[in-house]
A and B are shown apart, each in its own frame.
Chain A
Amino acid sequence: MSKISGIAASAGIAVARAFILEHPDYTIAKTAVSDIEAEVAKLNDALAKSRVELQGIKERTLAELGEKKAEIFESHLLILDDPELISPVTDKIRQESVNADYALNEVASQFIAMFENMKSAYLQERAADMRDVTKRIMNHLLGIHYVSPAEINEEVIVIAQDLTPSDTAQLNRKFVKGFTTNIGGRTSHSAIMARSLEIPAVVGTKNVLSEVKAGDLVIVDGLSGDVLINPTEAEVAEYKAKQEAYDLQIAEWKKLRDEPTVSADGKHVELAANIGTPNDVNGVIENGGEGVGLYRTEFLYMGRDKLPSEEIQYNAYRTVLENMQGKPVVVRTLDIGGDKELPYLDLPKEMNPFLGFRAIRLCLDRQDIFRTQLRALLRASAHGDLRIMFPMIATLGEFRAARDLLLEEKAKLKEEGKEVSDNIQLGIMVEIPSTAVLADQFAKEVDFFSIGTNDLIQYTMAADRMNERVSYLYQPYNPAILRLVKIVIDAAHAEGKWTGMCGEMAGDATAIPLLLGLGLDEFSMSATSILPARSQIAKLSAQDMKELAAKALQLGTAEEVAALVESIAK
């Protein structure tokens, strides 16, 4: 048995055989072949094997995920048999006496380039299908064994360098019991996905990919961050017991589901959830969320080839509001740019995207995009308690400009006779230090603040949170961060407004006592963190936490703050 440690990214324990998810590396060289017919036969054999494989995937997808998801494989099968692809490849082998993989690569590259140069964004993306099919044939030609995540059909633990959004989109929760990766942190895409799928995960292990072989028995402990490779029977038993204890704990938390969040001395705070799509609302209700504190609307814009229409957006917002049954829903307007790109917007690459043209900066410039979203939101407001917030606000001028656009669209809709709520709270994300410092001025004009800690920490510490070499500077407990949080909360309260927090920090067990003490009104987190947080808060006295927070603000380092919180936990 060997053990590796990483970052516990998603709670729970999983025991299963390892599935190595690696994108193979193709090195294709041109070689002269003497037996041309044997080379053509090799190509036909690879095509036949690919055909059988694709048929199987298509049928399985059809049975498990439905006709819509299976269509893509139907078109892959057609490409595989396409005379426009196969004849030129065979011709090339025959006329130039070259190897099949080289000939295939040459012809496929032309098609890929052709698609990439097409005017329509939709057709540009067909290059990906062409690549996918070419890879499949190539794997058979070169004898490479590769299975895509969509094809997993037995219980496994996925082992990978990192999981891309397209990898995670293909994971089947029924078979993928857990995963572990070489890189990534608690806030990386794969970690966030794992928590929303409720799959145990350990990320950032640095070397799990080289330590584990396909078929090894692996335990992923998403509670401690440990990964055990080929454990003994005794260890498997121990972890199964740990899993059971965890399940019991979960059952205890579930009892708090329909209870309000109240501290030991009777102070009420609100626990809300962060969501990305209308499908996430179920999880919010199941986990006893008192609202949605952050609805990330970016996902509506991603994975498509053009901007979502007002109608598509309206339906999504309305669904969320209706399913939340009158509970507050805070929607963040489009936060695109930075690390989140939209191919069809064709934005220029930037040297420093996190400090660049993103979120509200982009929306104030591309008013066509922004106004469509505002109209959809305003129309949806008739169906629940909608609250709107603007991301990445750095100046009061930006807030006023965004607010004025909202008011203009509202007036227009009313003229058109559409129903719009008159009680929409309007707030901002506080994630830029300038805004935190000037919170007293903002508090006069906004209805609420929501502190986005991931960005606030990265901008305050000047440390890219995706860069592992400076990840030690991601310090939520640094007194500098706590002081900024205090400034914001105090400024809101002075004007009779409320402050929420929708970054990872709001659901962190060490941060919660401090935030309660600082007077935070709303904590928004992953749905699965809500019940543990409610159980924790019920045991804390808000008055004592106020004293604790005051002490923490006078400390010098994040470590000292963590130690202080630790001392009261005992």
Chain B
Amino acid sequence: MQKTFRIVDEDGIHARPATALVNTATKFKETEAFAEAKGKKVTLKSILGVLSLGLEAGDTLTLITEGGEEAEALSALQDVMIKEGLGELHE
């Protein structure tokens, strides 16, 4: 499953929201979670991976979940994106 977001936070994805994303992804032990942007795909369970995408305002980011509780995981991650004011759903 996947969902694409557009980054709206003027600082891009910085440490606090990245921490929240990684913590959320890590909670779902049975589910693989990835972030894809600018032609790079990294595991969402690594803060260094997420920060290495170098996301800035205006970039698009796709969150991907596979296996286990993929639907629950994706919806929890979407909550973080919105609640932290990071991104908006990109149609």
Contact = CB atoms under 8 A, between A and B. Distances in A.
- The answer on A and B forming one complex is yes
22 contacts: A71-B15, A71-B19, A72-B15, A74-B19, A75-B47, A78-B19, A79-B48, A82-B47, A84-B42, A84-B46, A84-B49, A85-B46, A85-B48, A111-B52, A115-B51, A119-B54, A120-B12, A122-B12, A123-B51, A126-B15, A126-B51, A305-B11
B56 A114 contact: no
A565 B49 CA distance: 66
Contacts of B52: 84, 111, 114
Given A78-B19, A123-B14, 10 more contacts: A71-B19, A75-B18, A78-B22, A83-B45, A84-B49, A85-B46, A111-B48, A119-B56, A122-B14, A130-B48
A270 interface: no
Interface in B29-52: 42-43, 45-49, 51-52
A79 B54 contact: no
B46 A82 contact: yes
Interface in A118-144: 118-120, 122-123, 126, 129-130
Contacts of A75: 15-16, 18-19, 47
B62 interface: no
B23 interface: yes
Contacts of B19: 71, 74-75, 78
Contacts of A79: 47-48
A524 B38 CA distance: 54
Contacts of A126: 15, 51
Contacts of B12: 120, 122-123
Contacts of B54: 118-120, 123
Interface of B: 11-12, 14-16, 18-19, 22-23, 42-43, 45-49, 51-52, 54, 56
B18 A84 contact: no
With most chain A CB atoms within 10 A of its CB, the pick from B11, B15, B43, B49 is B15
With most chain B CB atoms within 10 A of its CB, the pick from A72, A75, A114, A129 is A75
Closest 3 CB pairs of A and B: A84-B46, A78-B47, A75-B15
A302 B39 CA distance: 35
Contacts of B46: 82-85
A20 B4 CA distance: 51
A207 to B, nearest CB: 40
Contacts of B42: 84
With most chain B CB atoms within 10 A of its CB, the pick from A72, A79, A111 is A79
A83 B18 contact: no
A185 B73 CA distance: 57
Interface in A39-96: 71-72, 74-75, 78-79, 82-85
B41 to A, nearest CB: 13
Contacts of A122: 11-12, 14
Nearest to A108: B48
A71 B47 CA distance: 14
A389 B81 CA distance: 45
Given A75-B16, A119-B54, A123-B51, A84 B23 contact: no
Contacts of A114: 52
A122 B51 CA distance: 11
Contacts of B48: 79, 82, 84-85, 111, 130
Nearest to A68: B16
Contacts of B51: 115, 123, 126
Contacts of B11: 120, 122, 305
A152 B12 CA distance: 34
Contacts of A115: 51
A54 B53 CA distance: 26
A118 B49 CA distance: 14
Contacts of A78: 19, 22-23, 47
B18 to A, nearest CB: 7
B11 to A, nearest CB: 6
Contacts of A119: 54, 56
A122 B15 CA distance: 9
Contacts of A130: 48
Nearest to A123: B54
Nearest to A115: B51
Interface string A88-116: 00000000000000000000000100110
A243 B53 CA distance: 56
Contacts of A84: 42-43, 46, 48-49, 52
With most chain A CB atoms within 10 A of its CB, the pick from B42, B48, B54 is B48
A357 B16 CA distance: 36
Nearest to A80: B47
A414 B43 CA distance: 53
Nearest to A118: B54
Contacts of B45: 83
Contacts of A120: 11-12, 54, 56
